[in-house]
């Protein structure tokens, strides 16, 4: 079966990071073992382990992972020591024949693909959003938040028939009594006071229902969401003022960056030719 515009991007070479070698070059010495070199080619770091040269980019990658500074002599020494330990252990694994393990090869390939895709996203979405874009996003989020916080209780059930049954009971017995009675019953996924919540913390289908209840009240009908069927009581509401733009600017920038990454992924996947045989 062939499908265009499906999940994932164009095929990338599944070559594990530790198995990369410079194309057309002889593998580095491996202490008498003739199997493939573990380490990629790259600028020399001056560090060798059992005859294999450790490239400088590997030291830099280890330092980034640990948050260490290679210009600090003590931290550089630690990076070289820990990287040498890692390489020596990987060489031992290679000598034991573990590089032929399919699961390990899959893990290495997945790790490499994640790194490649992540770097592509970083470079493609690196441009900072303009001040106008940040303020527009702030206004959009503020409009979705609304001007109130709500104290909400709900009963969440699996099916519409159960919701209708409980709705009739609520009309006769009151919301609090039914909520207390059904907690833990089969078919009841949740039954509790949610406390004070913002509008955007509610499932989208519940928002207009809660808005329409005014200061307090019980929804007259069960409401369906992606989680099931809700019976809702609004116990109270209070005024809510969003944080000022300057206070949340960095968070908005991060949110926009995530949205850009998701949109980039969607576009790449949509254009990709993906075959599932």
Per-residue pLDDT tens over the stretch 252-263 = 998 888 888 999
pLDDT at 36: 55
- Split at pLDDT 50, 70, 90, the class of 33 is very low
Q: How large a percentage of the chain has pLDDT more than 70? A: 86
End-to-end Cα spacing for the chain: 5
pLDDT at 95: 93
Structural contact between residues 103 and 111, judged by C-beta atoms closer than 8 angstroms: no
pLDDT at 130: 87
Note the CATH number of domain 148-239. Answer: 3.10.50.40
Gap between the Cα atoms of 273 and 269, Å rounded: 8
Gap between the Cα atoms of 188 and 170, Å rounded: 15
Structural contact between residues 160 and 244, judged by C-beta atoms closer than 8 angstroms: no
pLDDT tops 90 at residue 150: yes
Mean pLDDT of 23-27: 34
Gap between the Cα atoms of 234 and 273, Å rounded: 49
Residues 219-235: tens digit of each pLDDT: 999 999 999 999 999 99
The domains of the chain are located at 13-124, 148-239
Q: Give pTM, 2 decimals.
A: 0.53
Tokens linked to 44: 């020399």
pLDDT tops 80 at residue 17: no
pLDDT tops 50 at residue 9: no
The chain-wide mean pLDDT, for the chain, equals 86
């Amino acid at each position: 079966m062939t499908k265009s515009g499906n999940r994932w991007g164009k095929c990338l070479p599944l070559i594990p990071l530790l198995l990369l070698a410079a194309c057309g070059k002889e593998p580095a010495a491996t202490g008498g073992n003739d199997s493939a070199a573990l380490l990629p080619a790259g600028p020399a770091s001056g560090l060798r382990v059992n005859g294999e040269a450790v490239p400088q980019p590997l030291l830099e990658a280890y330092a980034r992972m640990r948050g260490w500074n290679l210009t600090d002599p003590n931290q550089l020494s630690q990076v070289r020591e820990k990287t040498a330990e890692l390489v020596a252990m990987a060489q031992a694994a290679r000598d034991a024949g573990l590089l032929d393990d399919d699961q390990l090869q899959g893990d290495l390939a997945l790790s490499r693909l994640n790194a490649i895709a992540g770097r592509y996203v970083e470079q493609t979405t690196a441009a900072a959003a303009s001040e106008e874009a940040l303020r527009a996003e702030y206004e959009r989020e503020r409009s979705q938040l609304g001007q109130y916080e709500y104290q909400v209780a709900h009963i969440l059930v699996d099916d519409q028939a159960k919701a209708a049954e409980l709705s009739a009971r609520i009309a006769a017995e009151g919301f609090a009594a039914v909520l207390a009675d059904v907690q833990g019953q089969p078919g009841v996924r949740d039954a509790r006071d949610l406390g004070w919540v913002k509008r955007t913390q509610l499932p989208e289908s519940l928002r207009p229902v809660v808005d329409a209840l005014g200061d307090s009240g019980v929804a007259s009908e069960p409401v369906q969401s992606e989680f099931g069927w809700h019976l809702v009581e609004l116990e109270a509401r209070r005024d809510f003022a969003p944080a000022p733009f300057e206070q949340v600017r960095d968070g908005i920038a991060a949110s926009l960056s995530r949205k850009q990454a998701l949109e980039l992924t969607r576009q790449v996947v949509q254009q990709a030719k993906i075959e599932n045989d």
